[in-house]
Amino acid sequence: MKPPAFDYLRAESIGDVLDGLAQQGGDARVLAGGQSLMAMLNMRLAKPKLLIDIMRLEELRKIQRKGDTVIIGAGVRQADLLAWPDLVDALPLVALALPWVGHMQTRSRGTICGSLAHADPSAEMPLTLVALGGEVLLRNAKRRRRVAAKDFFAGMMLTARSDDELIEGISLPVIKGSRAAFREVARRHGDFAIVACAAMKTSTGVRLAVGGVADVPTARDWPRLEGSALDDALNAFAYELGARDDVHATARYRRDLVRMIGRDLIGEVLQ
């Protein structure tokens, strides 16, 4: 349970990070809060030749509200965002989901963007990004690009980030007057979700996003549905997610949770 050998680069500018990534490519990893990556290193599931520590870069530590979006930098820790005074007003869904991310002892170090880079299918922040329809802001030495949440997660622990790109931050929309709801079932509070669901009222109806079932968090939009039409839609969605049996729960239990929590949350946001 000790990490393999690697060079350690303490970046003092974004240029240092981008140069390191350009030179070392897939053999480099960006180290932020380390709450996922360090565990991967200790278990030797990751064996980079270079770690680039970005946590001394003040410019990545910003949370900025610009009109109808909030930009969260790569160095913003989960605890920083939880303590942001505008959180409940601007990003009510994030305010509901964040306390479910790990434990107080890991939120104090772990970053929002680090959780997205790790892309665990049952993690709360990827689910929230997909539910809100946010964007990931990527940058390499030559260019910047924005990737929509639904295109960012490519599979279990896989993302659309290229080897030479830094996740510079994310952009989340402030959706005025939107009611949000979040619920998760896990063996213990703070463990990875067996099923996590987020629901939001939209201009045309309702959106439900589900994590912990498919390889990537998945969102579905519906018009305002009620009664058996809603039950049928939830049942079809639960099957489409392709749940599998594992040591934590059966596929059927996961589908049950999607149907039951989905109905509860949709009722909550549409009432």
| 123 touches other proteins by CB under 8 A | no
Residues in contact with other proteins, counted by CB under 8 A, come to a total of: 38
Alpha-carbon span 57 to 239, nearest angstrom: 44
Q: Which stretch binds other proteins (CB under 8 A): 35-43, 85-93, 128-136, 154-162?
A: 35-43
Task: List binders of other proteins among 145-204 (CB under 8 A).
Answer: 188-190
**Does residue 12 touch other proteins according to CB under 8 A?**
yes
Compute the radius of gyration of the chain from its Cα atoms: 19
Q: Which residues pair with 206 in a beta bridge?
A: 201, 222
Nearest distance from residue 111's CB to other proteins, in Å? Answer: 12
Task: Between 5 and 247, name the residue whose CB sits nearer to other proteins.
Answer: 5
Of positions 22, 27, 46, 49, contacts other proteins by CB under 8 A: 49
Interaction between residue 55 and other proteins (CB under 8 A):
yes
Is there binding between residue 250 and other proteins (CB under 8 A)? no
Helix count and strand count (H, E) for the chain: 11, 14
Which 3-state string (H, E, C) describes 211-245?
A: ECCCCCCEEEEEECCCHHHHHHHHHHHHHHCCCCC
Binding of residue 69 to other proteins (CB under 8 A): no
Q: How far are the Cα atoms of 12, 59, 103, 115 from residue 109, in angstroms, in the given order?
A: 19, 17, 10, 11
> Quick check: 61 binds other proteins (CB under 8 A)?
no
Q: Residue from 104, 158, 229, 236 that binds other proteins (CB under 8 A)?
A: 104
> Would you say 197 and 218 are in contact if contact means Cβ atoms under 8 Å apart?
no
> What single letter denotes the amino acid at residue 21?
L
Residue 128 beta carbon to other proteins: minimum distance, rounded to whole angstroms: 20
Q: What is the DSSP string of 169-202?
A: EEEEE--TT--EEEEEE-SSTTSPPSEEEEEEE-
Nearest distance, CB of residue 99 and other proteins, angstroms? 8
* C-beta separation of 93 from 180 below 8 A: yes
Contact present, 164 and 128 (Cβ < 8 Å): no
The answer to the question of residue 8 lying near other proteins (CB under 8 A) is: yes
Min CB(189)–other proteins separation in Å: 5
Positions touching other proteins (CB under 8 A) are: 1-13, 16, 31, 34-35, 38-39, 41-43, 49, 51, 53, 55, 77, 79, 102-106, 108-109, 188-190
